[in-house]
Amino acid sequence: MLNTVVPRCESLVEFASFAGPATVPDLFVPRPFDMPELAGPAQPFVNANRSRSTQLTMARQCKVAADPECPITAARTFGHQEGRAPVLDFGSLLLATALSGACLSGTLVAIWLTARQSRFVLTMAVGILLLVTHVIAFWLYGRHASSWLGQGMLALLVAGFFVVFTSADQYIERGWSKPATLPIIAIIALTVVVTAAGFDGVGFVIAYLAVTGILVMTATAFWTSTEVDRRVLAPVSLLTGSSAISFALCAFVIIRQKQWVLGSVPRNWAEDVNTVVVVACMTALGALTISFHHLRTQSRLTEETLTDPLTGLMNRRALNSLHANTSFGQRMALAMVDLDHFKRTNDVFGHAVGDRVLQRFADIVRRQSRQGVEGFRLGGEEFAIVISGMSTLEIYEVLRKIGASFGAEVVATKLGPLRSTVSAGVCFGSDEARSLEQMLLGADVALYAAKRAGRNRVATAGPADCDGYREPQLLFA
């Protein structure tokens, strides 16, 4: 026990100058009630002009360098160093992430307003906004933990990633999000109940594992989709896969350390890794969503360019695009089909009825279409059908079914029921591998032969002794 009268000291530095370094460990261990209100992290105790080595020495002398209450430790935590501005802390990083995500969500909403048919863009905007709200709640929970805040934070985390998954599902049209909705709602409810009971560590584990599963489903949906451009599979799989691993690691660390009750946000190396990965993932997800929108728009424009708007069949441009370089060999054929007396149908019944007749024929072609059968509207009442991978008899059977089905169709009009027939000319491929132009020319000659034979018939191009040649045959009796 010292007999020295110790005056009231306003700072650790003042006290050290009075008592001497040797007496500091025995006389002064700072506690919260010994400290005045701080204008910054330990500002009255640490002079900004004091060297870092002096600060560390003082920390060792007061034996509280590892104590979070230590003013010098607090100063080091918040990055007060000699001649430097404070380093960006964890909270600032979270808020910057939230601001970036909010801007990204607003950008996606603006894109959706110009193209409302792209529902997945709006869904992604909602998902990112939910995750932004989660980030803010996560930051608040780390400062002032409360049960209701923890419940909302974890619910927002799971809901946000599930909405992101729903956006991906809308884009690739797999239909996986609907059956997964009820299980996700059940998981969110379980997380809320566990957290409300005071086991927020368990709540974090459940939420992290749920997000891991959602991200794995997202990666699987993209990887197994046949409609997605393979160029986007690698970045999407990398992003979702790395994010899933980071969330799984966060859950693993909490379980391993048995932190069932935290009272704050988890603090460990896995959380640090997860923060970096998720920040990158959120930014990249927005960029990929914009890229997906552009790809979908480009695909839709291409489809409209290659599709006949009246019948929905592909047009002449599509035929040239798909088969301009095709070599028509054995087991391939091209048929030209023309609706009989179509001009008279328009003149007598009107063009509206004529359009309905064209649409009926296109529907029949689509019903008969399967692997190796493609229908095209070349213009007016003229159509082309490309058939591949079939024998001569099978090709004739396809054309016969189309002609018979169309002949049996009845279109109701003001003047009474209307029936129509078609004539077809077919040109078969050969060992010499004919070009598209040669096939069209041969099929056109055969079509006129079918018309000369009385219409409602299918005729074959080429001389009578060539392979596949048949006399014009009746299509609908």
Q: Which residues are catalytic?
A: 381
Q: d(Cα 134, Cα 186) in Å, to the nearest integer?
A: 19
Least Cα distance to 250 among 293, 204, 215, 213 occurs for 204
- Tell me whether strands 473-474 and 457-460 are parallel, antiparallel or unpaired: antiparallel
Q: d(Cα 322, Cα 303) in Å, to the nearest integer?
A: 13
Q: d(Cα 189, Cα 105) in Å, to the nearest integer?
A: 26
Which residue pairs from 261-264 have beta carbons closer than 8 angstroms and sit at least 24 positions apart in sequence? 261/198, 261/199, 261/200, 261/201, 262/200, 262/201, 262/204, 263/145, 263/200, 264/141, 264/142, 264/145
- 3-class SS of residue 347: helix
- Token pair of 320 as six digits: 């040239």
DSSP string covering 102-163 = HHHHHHHHHHHHH-TT-HHHHHHHHHHHHHHHHHHHHHHHHHS--HHHHHHHHHHHHHHHHH
DSSP string covering 271-321 = HHHHHHHHHHHHHHHHHHHHHHHHHHHHHHHHHHHTB-TTT-SEEHHHHHH
